[in-house]
Structure 1
Amino acid sequence: MEITGPSGSLLDGNQQDWFLQKGTWRVQLHGELRGDVRLMLLEEHETRIAEFLLSGTDRQGTFTVEHDITRFELRAYSDAGTVVDLQRLEFYRA
């Protein structure tokens, strides 16, 4: 899936009913990334859990969840000219 958009555009905002256990996690983008993408992880649409920048040379970020969460949303914002050829996003324990 290839995703593009103008600077500052929301590339994806998808709330899921996934369980994310308390602890330190790493998220990794698998696929190609040309440009920069800012990822935000929010609980229940409003509580920011983490925010980090992914680039073509650094496609992973680490964050800590202070309590178990069951509903979270991952938002991705692009810089102008960014192209994401997304295979998958992988969450794993850091």
Structure 2
Amino acid sequence: MIVPQLIKLVDEIQYRDHQIASKSFTHKLGIVLPFVLYALDAGESISNEQSTLTRLFEVVDGTLTVVTDHPIQVQTGEVLVIPANTLHEIRADQRCKFVQLETK
């Protein structure tokens, strides 16, 4: 049985020098759709990718740059919605923690 949980996302993952760290919450929360927390060190990126699902990126620390046709900066507390099948790149010009949630 899943019970209500309060999760302070910014504290759930730590930065690693010159690396990308990730932590999945899908199993812990008992959900089907992907829910992953990332911590990117400054200068790290995730090359062009796309998903058959809509992706939501919520920044919990720092600023994230997502490039589709043009760069979009997502600040702490903001959510960016990337439609399904949209090619995009993720960059951290400064350290950044964000949640990536995928939905139909």
User: Same fold, TM exceeding 0.5?
Assistant: no
TM-score interval for Structure 1 and Structure 2 normalised by the shorter chain: 0.3 to 0.5
TM-score scaled to structure 2, two decimals? 0.40
Higher relative contact order (CA 8 A, sep 6+): 1
Q: Which structure has the highest helix share of the two?
A: 2
Q: Which structure has the highest strand share of the two?
A: 1
TM-score scaled to structure 1, two decimals? 0.43
